[in-house]
């Protein structure tokens, strides 16, 4: 059983109150084998959060645009113009934002780690005392705290890692900023295109759908996509899929309802 499969089994055992599955995932031999066969790395799954949240944001914002235009009883061409403009503009903005945020976090971590490394080299006794006091403040008895600090001091890199986590609450993020930005952008664009799908198909292959029917079908597709992505979010949050799906469906529905109402209001005023 590899590391990822062992973790999956542990989660399923806990969620389903399956003691035998949990025991299998926590078998000492299985744990040792998992860590020897597979490095403790999240791999592609570390970008799952960006994929899910980018997709959810794409569906909600694009369908809000569709709802606003339909509420104002404007032409379907306006839906495509505003929808596609929103899709590419907001998608690009989200992708760049994710890139800059990830890059800034990594730069801050690198700067703080450089400082901690310098302090370890120049003030080892003070760092020993600081880490000792941190462990004591967490409730460790004197002897255990001293032992733990002494163990950390045997390896400089391990010591710096400990200071970063215990003192600053910082852990290294090994995600690539450019890839995170790209994943967020693509997820936003692909998922956000769902509310526009029928209007795009009608433009390419006219099938004479009425505006009301097209909107209802777009609503149904968007609702299914919202529920599906909301359920998929549980891969990150570990919550109940149906509850998370309904939550996202409700949020998306409220956003669309507000946009529709504003469109209808402005139509009456203008």
Instruction: Assign 94 a pLDDT band (cuts: 50, 70, 90).
Output: very high
Average pLDDT over residues 16-26: 75
**Which pLDDT score is estimated for 239?**
66
The mean pLDDT value for 118-139 works out to 89
The per-residue pLDDT for range 187-206, each reduced to its tens digit, is: 999 988 998 888 888 888 87
**Please, which pLDDT band fits residue 19 given cuts at 50, 70 and 90?**
confident
pLDDT on residue 174 = 82
Which of 62-76, 133-147, 222-236 shows the lowest mean pLDDT across its residues? 222-236
* Model confidence, pTM: 0.76
- Per-residue tokens: 56: 């959810």
Find the range with the poorest average confidence among 157-171, 177-191, 222-236: 222-236
Q: What's the whole-number average pLDDT of the chain?
A: 82
Position with higher pLDDT, 236 vs 57: 57
State pLDDT tens for residues 131-169: 899 889 988 999 999 999 899 888 888 888 888 888 888
């Amino acid at each position: 059983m590899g590391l990822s499969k062992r973790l999956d089994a542990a989660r399923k055992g806990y969620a389903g109150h399956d003691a035998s599955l949990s025991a299998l995932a926590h078998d000492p031999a299985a744990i040792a084998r998992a860590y020897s066969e597979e490095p403790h790395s999240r791999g592609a799954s570390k970008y799952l959060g960006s994929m899910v949240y980018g997709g959810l944001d794409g569906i909600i914002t694009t369908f809000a645009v569709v709802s606003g235009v339909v509420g104002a009883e404007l032409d379907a061409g306006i839906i495509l113009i505003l929808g596609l403009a929103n899709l590419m503009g907001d998608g690009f903005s989200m992708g760049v934002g994710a890139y800059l945020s990830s890059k800034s976090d990594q730069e801050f971590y690198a700067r703080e780690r450089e400082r901690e490394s310098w302090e370890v080299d120049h003030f080892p006794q003070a760092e020993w005392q600081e880490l000792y006091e941190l462990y004591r403040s967490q409730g460790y008895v004197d002897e255990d705290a001293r032992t733990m600090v002494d163990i950390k001091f045997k390896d400089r890199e391990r010591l710096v890692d400990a200071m970063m986590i215990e003192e600053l609450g910082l852990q290294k993020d090994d995600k690539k900023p450019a890839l995170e930005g790209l994943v967020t952008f693509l997820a936003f664009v692909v998922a956000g295109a769902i509310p526009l799908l029928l209007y795009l198909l009608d433009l390419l292959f006219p099938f004479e759908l009425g505006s009301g029917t097209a909107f209802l079908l777009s609503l149904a597709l968007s609702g299914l996509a919202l529920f599906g992505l909301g359920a998929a979010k549980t891969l990150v949050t570990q919550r109940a899929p149906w509850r998370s799906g309904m939550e996202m469906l409700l949020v998306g529905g409220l956003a669309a309802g507000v946009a529709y109402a504003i469109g209808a209001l402005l139509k009456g005023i203008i």
